[in-house]
Every structure is written in C-alpha cells, then in structure tokens.
Structure 1
Amino acid sequence: MGNNETTASTVSLASVTLEVADTGDAHRFYTAFGVDRHVRLRESGAPSTGFRGFALALTVAGPATVDAFLAAAVGAGATVIKPATKSLWGYGGSVQAPDGTAWKVATSAKKDTGPATREIDDVVLLLGVENVKATREFYVGRGLTVARSFGGKYTEFAPGEAGAVKLALYKRRALAKEVGVPVDGTGSHRIVLGSTAGSFADPDGFAWEAAVQAAAGPSARS
C-alpha cells in the first residue's frame, strides 16, 4: 500500500463485522441488546475455540444503565462472564453473546444522576495483541491517529468520524483478564474490520477489508 493511501485523513475503522453461525439469530440478539447499529453480521462456519482475541466495550452514563444493558443482553440469551460490580474506576460487568463475542459494559460514574437509559456514550473495539507498542506503530504507519496511549499496556486511536466505533489495543492476556475469560484460544478471530483504505492484516492476524457502503445498514448480512 502506497503512502498516498495511508494518511490519517483516509485510514480509519469504518465498520465492525462479526462472523456468526446464524445471522438471523444474531440480529435478533443484537437488536434486543441495543447495539445492532454498531455491528454488521456475516455468516461463517470458521472454527474458533476459546478467547478470540478481542472484546467490544460499551461506555454508558451510570450504573443503572450498565445494569439495563447487561439485563437486556442476558434476557436475549447472553451468558454472564463477570457480574456488574463497583471498582476503583467505576462500575461494570461483562457478558458473552450467543455467537461467542465478549461484551463489556461499564461507566466511570460511581452513582446514578438519573434513571437508566438506552444511550451509549462510546463503543470501543478492544484488540488483544502480543505487543502493544509494535502494533501501535503498525497502525500509525497506516495513518491512524493515537488519541491516548499508556506505554505498552493500552492504546486508543481517534475515531474516523463522530459516533464511530473506536479502536483500541490491549495486551492479549490483560484483555482476557479484564473481560473475565481464559486467555487461550485457537482458530478464527471471527471478526473483520472495515477499512477506508483497502484490505490488509495486522501483526496479530486481525483482518481488515474495504468497508462496504453504509447504505447496506450496520447489520448487513453479507
């Protein structure tokens, strides 16, 4: 890929496609969960076991909203990984969707300032990588802009547009611990990232492809 294709103005995370066994079932789940507009779905039978090396995280306004999202996910068929609890940084928990995707829902607020809502402040795709610094440099070389970075532990990139899913890097082992799953996993990541600048794979094997047109809808069954 030439330098004219890797500037910060043209390279960004445009979409997140989850590969699932049944797109109909997955669409019903993600609609009930309340995140259907943030992910696309694609049917796949690629073998995958254990931790897939990524998680999706929702940041919301307060504890009541965390509980509401987690309850909606469990009611639609998700399995609780970590029950929502208070911590030094706030309040949150995690679940595993029926298709195997790990989701974390959290807030930095310790107390509610209003009733629960279905509003999402941010959606972040957390990639678990072996070497955060090296993978960060790989993405910077392709034009992504670093928004926040904590050495070799965590990096968050600036979103391509307002309201888009953010991309962040975590150490793989640390991400598995954060979500609450064993670190071991084999086979397909079962996720494809939509790129504004063509197809490639990162150092940890996460696949990027040219993003489909937005008119197809965020839950397009490609």
Structure 2
Amino acid sequence: MTSIDHITLEVADASAAERFYAEAFGLGDRVRVRASDAPTSGFRGYTVSITVSQPADVRAYVDSAVAAGATVIKPVATSLWGVGATVQAPDGAIWKIATSAKKDTGPARREPESVVLLLGADDVKASKQFYVGRGLPVGKSFGSYVQFDLKGSPVQLGLYKRRALAKDAGVPEDGDGSHRIVIGGGADSVVDPDGFAWEAAAR
C-alpha cells in the first residue's frame, strides 16, 4: 500500500458519471466509476483535489465541470494560499481545483500537476498510524493535517480532521451512510479506521 492507482466512485448512473468525468476533468483511469445504490446522505467524508499551475487553469477546470453538469460550491477566489474553487459533481462527489500561484504565466490548460484524495478523519492520529503501519511514508504532518509522500503515485493521499475538511469544502459536516468511494492500490483489501475501503490493485 504505497501507491493509489485509481479511485472508484460509486454512483447511481455509471454511464452518466463516465461522461461527466471525461468532459469535466479528463483524468483517464485515475478516476473510475461503478453503479451502486448504497444509501448515503450529506457529506461523504472526503474531497478530491486537482492541483494546477496557474489561476487560468483553475477557471478552465471549473468552466468545463459546470458545463458538464457540476454545481459550484465555492466560486473561483484568491486567498492567502493561492487561487481555488470547489464544485460538486452530479453524483455528489466534491472536487476542489486549486493553485498556489496568484498570477498566470501562460494560456489556460487542463493539465493537472497532481490529483489528491483527502480523507476526513475522526481521529487523525489514529488514521495516520494505520497508514504508516502499512508502509505509507509521511511527507508533511502538522496539527489536524497529514500528507503522505507517495512518489510516482497517480493519486496522492492526505488526511484532515473531518470537520475541518467539510468547512474547507464549504459544506456541513453532517453525513451518513456509504462513503461511495473505493481506493484502488496495494496488495490487500482493507478498511481504514474511518471506514474508507481499499481494493487490491489488479496485477
């Protein structure tokens, strides 16, 4: 478990979701979907971030996501940390697009620097220990935030206090039922302390 090959989003309409993700983000095999009717409500306890190189790229991704059917939760805005926005896909998944840059250096492109899965943890310390015990090296760790250093991984991984993650996403923290996401990577199928399931990567 030292890499995330892909994430699988469990959705009500797999065909519609495939079209949405192809048109909105174009991330290829890093994001997969499959049909599910597992009950879920409210915040699902995670967000997926696309980090890009400049503000124009943030706007390009937000525009394509909205055109494909996403709802804007937080419009594009400049903050102390850079420029970002948050949207919600038709299937309910929350996506953040962000850059640390505040000025454009070229034409807008839809080319991600990284894709990061951020899991909301009830007990960040316990969840961190779970992942470290399974071989994930820590890149950064401070307060209620942990970023793992998954070199060469198609999808990166981080942990954040659930309440803080919901606040950052711009949604209430209340939620119940299935997370509606499965993480693809590693040699074994496991479930972490917050109920996020991992499936063994195909060989």
Q: TM-score, normalised by structure 2?
A: 0.96
Alignment gaps of 5+ in structure 1? 1-9, 214-222
Corresponding residue number in structure 2 for 1:220 = none
The reply to whether residue 158 of structure 1 matches residue 149 of structure 2 is yes
Distance apart, 1:195 and its partner CA: 2.6
Q: Percent identity?
A: 59
Q: Say how many residue pairs are matched.
A: 202
Write out aligned runs for 1:38-187 (5 A).
Answer: 38-151=30-143, 153-159=144-150, 161-162=151-152, 164-187=154-177
Corresponding residue number in structure 2 for 1:210 = 200
Distance apart, 1:163 and its partner CA: 5.1
Q: Which amino acid aligns with 2:38?
A: A
The reply to whether residue 21 of structure 1 matches residue 8 of structure 2 is no
Q: TM-score, normalised by structure 1?
A: 0.88
Alignment gaps of 5+ in structure 2? none
Runs of 4+ that moved beyond 4 A: none
2: CA distance, partners of 1:26 / 1:211: 22
1: CA distance, partners of 2:130 / 2:160: 14
1: CA distance, partners of 2:154 / 2:24: 18
Contact 1:122 1:163 in 2 (8 A): no
1: CA distance, partners of 2:61 / 2:145: 25
Q: 1:101 to 1:190 in 2, by over 3 A?
A: same
1: CA distance, partners of 2:26 / 2:138: 25
Q: Which amino acid aligns with 1:29?
A: F
2: CA distance, partners of 1:70 / 1:181: 18
Residue of structure 2 aligned with 1:192, choices 182, 185, 199:
182
Query: Which stretch shows the higher mean deviation, 28-37 or 62-71?
Result: 28-37
Q: What RMSD in Å do the two structures reach over aligned CA positions?
A: 1.2
Distance apart, 1:40 and its partner CA: 1.1
Residue of structure 1 aligned with 2:21, choices 30, 41, 46:
30
